[in-house]
Structure 1
Amino acid sequence: MRLADARRDHYRKLAKDQGYRSRAAYKLKQLDDSYHLLKRNYRVVDIGCAPGGWVQVAAKQVGAAGRVVGIDLKAVEPVAGATILEGSIDDPAAIAKIVEELGERADVVLSDLAPNVSGMWEVDHARQIDLTRSALALARQVLRGGGSAVFKVFEGEFMKELKGEMAASFGKVLVSKPTASRQESSELYLVCLNFAKN
């Protein structure tokens, strides 16, 4: 078994043993360990939250007095301590519902959005960047000043431009690849800190 496959199996088994819905939960846990994004009583929005692994991690970290709102195009099984919405982040009504559920501005916005992969790299990369732009637009609407965001991106020609757009709204934009990510994949995370609210 290749090392990458062994690592993937390790996180899949760990997720099953620890009650997380996906191995992706460990990507967020590792990002949080590195950047201390999720704190007690925080308000968190998770975009593209299916199957719910990130929501589980966030709900645990913010505790009972925090708020976690997840949204996805498809139905997601309920997660204890969180609100799950079904809808598109390009729909103003869905954004209004997120704001209503939060009660006030978010401390953190998380996006693990990815398109249905076609296998044509240029197309998938461009579609993923478009999705992330939508997530960035939502983050600009719901984050408090000084808040943080994490966006999944596929490495490629449009990433630098997107990073520049994020830098216009955040004090710091860092590139991270958690060890729970497949090392051969082009998946990276842009960790954006210190949001400058317009």
Structure 2
Amino acid sequence: MRLADAKRDHYRKLARDQGFRSRAAYKLKQINDSYHILKKGHRVADIGCAPGGWLQVAVSEVGSSGKVAGMDLKAVESVAGAAILQGSIDDPAAVNGLIEALGGRADVILSDLAPNISGMWEVDHARQIDLTRSALALARQVLGGGGSAVFKVFEGEFLNELKDEMRKSFAKVLVSKPQASRQESSEMYLVCLNFRPA
């Protein structure tokens, strides 16, 4: 068994044992261990939240004084402590729905969005960056001043352009590759800190 497969199986087993819905939960846990973006009392919006692993982590980090709302195109099984909306992040009503569910603007936006993978690298990269652009547009409307965001991205030719776009709205844009991500995959996360509303 290759090391990457062994690692994937390790996190899958861990998720099963610890009651998380997906091994992706550990990606968010590791990002949060490094950057401490989820705090008690925070309002958190998770877009592209299926199957709910990130919602579970967010709920446990913000505690009973915080609020968590997720949104996905697919129906997502309920997660204790989180509001779940079904809809598209490109729909203007999505913005209002999230702000309403959180009772105000978010402190943190989480986006683990990925397109349906075609296997054609250039196409998948371009689609993923487009999705993240939509997530950024939504974040600009839902985040409160000083807030943080985490966006999944695929490495490739359009990534630097996207980072420049994010720097217009955030004081810091950092690249994170959590241990739970497969090291050979092109997936990484942009951790954006200190949101500056336009």
Please, what TM-score do these two structures have when normalized by structure 2? 0.99
Match of 1:137 in 2: 137
Match of 1:59 in 2: 59
Match of 1:165 in 2: 165
1:197 aligns with 2:197: yes
Match of 2:34 in 1: 34
CA distance in 1, matches of 2:166, 2:94: 23
Aligned 1:71-86 pairs, distance under 5 A:
71-86=71-86
Match of 1:127 in 2: 127
CA distance in 1, matches of 2:20, 2:134: 27
- Deviation of residue 147 (structure 1)? 0.4
CA distance in 1, matches of 2:168, 2:94: 25
Task: Extract unaligned runs of 5+ from structure 1.
Answer: none
Please, what TM-score do these two structures have when normalized by structure 1? 0.99
1:91 aligns with 2:72: no
- Deviation of residue 139 (structure 1)? 0.5
The more displaced of 88-97 and 14-23 is: 88-97
Which stretches of structure 1, 4 residues or longer, exceed 6 Å deviation after superposition? none
- Deviation of residue 65 (structure 1)? 1.3
The more displaced of 92-101 and 173-182 is: 92-101
Match of 1:24 in 2: 24
Identity of matched residues, %: 78
Partner secondary structure for residue 192 of structure 1: strand
CA distance in 2, matches of 1:50, 1:104: 23
CA distance in 2, matches of 1:28, 1:93: 27
1:183 aligns with 2:183: yes
CA distance in 1, matches of 2:58, 2:113: 16
Match of 1:153 in 2: 153
- Aligned length, in residue pairs: 198
CA distance in 1, matches of 2:16, 2:116: 24
Partner secondary structure for residue 68 of structure 1: strand
CA distance in 2, matches of 1:80, 1:41: 16
CA distance in 1, matches of 2:136, 2:122: 21
1:70 aligns with 2:90: no
CA distance in 1, matches of 2:172, 2:94: 28
Partner secondary structure for residue 55 of structure 1: helix
Letter in 1 for 2:159: M
Cα root mean square deviation, aligned: 0.5
Match of 2:114 in 1: 114
Task: Extract unaligned runs of 5+ from structure 2.
Answer: none
Match of 2:6 in 1: 6
